[in-house]
Chains A and B, each alone.
Chain A
Amino acid sequence: MTLPLVEQFQYGLDAPICLTWELTYACNLSCVHCLSSSGRRDPRELTTAECRAVVDELERMQVFYVNIGGGEPTVRPDFWELVDYATAHDVGVKFSTNGVKITPERARRLAASDYVDVQISLDGATAEVNDAVRGPGSYATALRAMRNLARAGFRGFKISVVVTRQNAGQLDDFKAIADRFGAQLRLTRLRPSGRGADVWDDLHPTASQQRQLYDWLVARGEQVLTGDSFFHLAAYGNPLPGLNLCGAGRVVCLIDPVGDVYACPFAIHESFLAGNVRGPGGFAAVWRDSELFADLRRPQTGGACQACSAYDLCRGGCMAAKFFTGLPLDGPDPECVKGHGEQALAAAAGAPAPRPFGDHSHRSRRAEPVPVSIGRRPDRACDENPLAGFRTPT
């Protein structure tokens, strides 16, 4: 009965195990490392009816749950309606939020549902460290949301931390915050995706921080979640809990706010675009028939990594991390624990890395919260016209 499941997963499943669905590019924050370069809503975003149709498909495909994100998904006026629609159709929801809409009343309603999980983003255990990345006031907003959830009796909500050079020394403090609120800590890897491409050099953990992180995670076992994002660290010796493989296009994928389907949430680039849910056959056809996904599900060669003794453990690491740092996909991860990534980065220095696709950043590009209310859609996809949306005062 012990078939190698990882090998089964490498060749893909009939439906994703979990799916990330970003509902909007609109966000009240401008986090410097945002994986989807979010900020402004895209006028082509899926309508409420189109989102419901996607849920209907996920129900037919028996996708157990979706990870809803953005942007800040809760600023969509139909967000709670869509959550209710999904759970009523046997599609569980875990949504990521900066906490801006988690009022005491909303927290009570969330606590009453078995089929909704909440993940609050926090990138520093102190306001100073967090707000430098996520913007002024964002720490207070996140902590207020956690307090509201805890007071409402919501046990085991997630606190999700992107590990950076600045917060890698705060792991125990993050755990203490999670324990204080009866929450579960989730640590994920910083990728050079979206705006993360611009800050990755300064924010990604150092080699010694990676080693400390690995030891810390091994010691905590299943107490701390990682979303399988640190499987490149398995090359230190032992795999962390989880599947320990790149699931892109095999067991995971991304549906973005305009319905584009990408191999993974960290790979928003035309090279990883498999199709669109608005196309004939919808999401299921993209998942089952896309040439890109078929290609990802073929056995991988390992390329330059094949000679490495750790290849069976790390399998070459993260595709998106390689791609957006300009490294070949069949070579080492830029954060390869054997040091091969640093050599590869040095060798590739000067060669331009591919740029992330589709920037929806706020134009000011400062890490400051901006008031967001979605009412009126932008006039056009590309608001380059300086007079777009301008109304003469009367």
Chain B
Amino acid sequence: MSTQTPPRAAFDLDRPWQLHPQVSVRPERFGALLYHFGTRRLSFLKSPALLSVVRELGDAPSAREACKRAGLTEAELPAYAAGLQTLASSQMIRPREPA
């Protein structure tokens, strides 16, 4: 069970991403719990909006578009990109080849 934040790298909002196939998502009042069966790590999505973004990722042509579909404004993007980078560095989400 980890609550530590790995070091931040820039998150590529303009490429397609997807939830890792070994990750299970459980919605909660505060957002969601994520569990990765491969790394056996638990993570948290700390807002319902971030859960919406994660849910849109697999179908959207880019993470930026997924954020838009989840109703985020341009001003909110940097904070959510940081959140997505945290998920990427713990392998909860991963890059997807463009369709």
A contact set with B: CB distance below 8 Å: 1-3, 5, 8, 13-15, 17, 62, 64-65, 90, 92, 94, 114-115, 117, 156, 221-222, 228, 241-243
**Selected contact of B29 from candidates A8, A15, A17, CB within 8 Å:** A8
Output the least CB separation between A155 and chain B (Å).
11
Let me know if B40 and A117 touch, CB within 8 A.
yes
- Specify which chain B residues have a CB less than 8 angstroms from the CB of A241 in the assembled complex: 1-4
Let me know if B3 and A243 touch, CB within 8 A.
yes
* A interface SS class: loop
Output the least CB separation between A239 and chain B (Å).
9
A-B contacts, 5 of them at CB < 8 A, read A5-B30, A64-B42, A90-B24, A241-B3, A242-B2
- Specify which chain B residues have a CB less than 8 angstroms from the CB of A222 in the assembled complex: 2, 4
- Specify which chain A residues have a CB less than 8 angstroms from the CB of B42 in the assembled complex: 17, 64
Question: For residues 50 through 99 of chain B, which have their beta carbon under 8 Å from a beta carbon of chain A?
Answer: 50, 79-80, 83
**Selected contact of B1 from candidates A15, A90, A92, A242, CB within 8 Å:** A242
Let me know if A13 and B28 touch, CB within 8 A.
yes
Chain A residue at minimum C-beta to C-beta distance from B76: A1
Chain B residue at minimum C-beta to C-beta distance from A63: B26
**A15→B27 CA distance, assembly (Å):** 11
A interface footprint on B34-59 (CB within 8 Å = 1, 0 otherwise)? 01011010101011001000000000
Chain B residue at minimum C-beta to C-beta distance from A91: B24
- Specify which chain A residues have a CB less than 8 angstroms from the CB of B44 in the assembled complex: 5
**Selected contact of A62 from candidates B4, B24, B30, CB within 8 Å:** B24
**Selected contact of A114 from candidates B33, B38, B79, CB within 8 Å:** B38
Let me know if B26 and A5 touch, CB within 8 A.
no
Let me know if B35 and A64 touch, CB within 8 A.
yes
**Selected contact of B30 from candidates A8, A17, A90, CB within 8 Å:** A8
Output the least CB separation between A288 and chain B (Å).
14
Output the least CB separation between A219 and chain B (Å).
15
**Selected contact of B26 from candidates A2, A64, A94, CB within 8 Å:** A64
Output the least CB separation between A107 and chain B (Å).
18
A interface footprint on B2-26 (CB within 8 Å = 1, 0 otherwise)? 1110000000000000000010101
**A241→B38 CA distance, assembly (Å):** 20
**A136→B3 CA distance, assembly (Å):** 39
Taking A114-B37, A242-B1, A243-B1 as known contacts, 19 extra A-B pairs with beta carbons closer than 8 A to each other, sorted by chain A number, are: A1-B79, A3-B31, A3-B46, A5-B46, A13-B33, A15-B26, A17-B1, A64-B24, A64-B35, A92-B40, A94-B40, A114-B22, A114-B38, A115-B37, A117-B40, A156-B40, A241-B1, A241-B3, A241-B4
Let me know if A17 and B33 touch, CB within 8 A.
yes
- Specify which chain A residues have a CB less than 8 angstroms from the CB of B33 in the assembled complex: 13, 17, 64
Let me know if A242 and B3 touch, CB within 8 A.
yes
Output the least CB separation between A87 and chain B (Å).
9
- Specify which chain A residues have a CB less than 8 angstroms from the CB of B35 in the assembled complex: 64-65, 92
Let me know if A3 and B79 touch, CB within 8 A.
no
Output the least CB separation between A242 and chain B (Å).
5
**A236→B26 CA distance, assembly (Å):** 34
Chain A residue at minimum C-beta to C-beta distance from B23: A64
**A115→B28 CA distance, assembly (Å):** 23
**A94→B29 CA distance, assembly (Å):** 27
**Selected contact of A1 from candidates B22, B37, B83, CB within 8 Å:** B83
Given contacts A15-B26, A62-B24, A90-B24, A1 and B3 within 8 Å (CB-CB): no
Chain B residue at minimum C-beta to C-beta distance from A90: B24
**A243→B99 CA distance, assembly (Å):** 39
Let me know if B46 and A1 touch, CB within 8 A.
yes
Output the least CB separation between A252 and chain B (Å).
10
**A54→B90 CA distance, assembly (Å):** 31
